Structure 1
């Protein structure tokens, strides 16, 4: 067992989870009087969403943390 790697493994796991859970505001397209008409056209209008690049980076951090934990347990 390699204790330093095992102790550091939760850090990238936590950072990856934070990256995936992070939200960004999508700009509202419809800000006129006809807000209800234009607002119903797009699904993502005004919705909070996470960009795919941020999700991929978070998944990479999580995979690195899992690998670090396996390395810490097995020592190989």
Structure 2
């Protein structure tokens, strides 16, 4: 799975939630846009941290295997 699948889905979900809150009068359109942008950016950052951790873990394992074979 890649983040390319999740970003559009999250953006649509946040736009629906923002539209509901806009229709009820809780937010204005600028706040909804900021809310959607914040949600997408948080998802991308969390995904980056997760992916970075996974890559670093694989590199440590590969380094350990290479060091043992010498």
- Please state which band the TM-score falls in when normalised by the shorter chain: 0.3 to 0.5
Q: Which has the higher contact order (CA 8 A, sep 6+)?
A: 1
Q: TM-score scaled by structure 2?
A: 0.43
Looking at secondary structure, tell me which structure has more helix per residue: 2
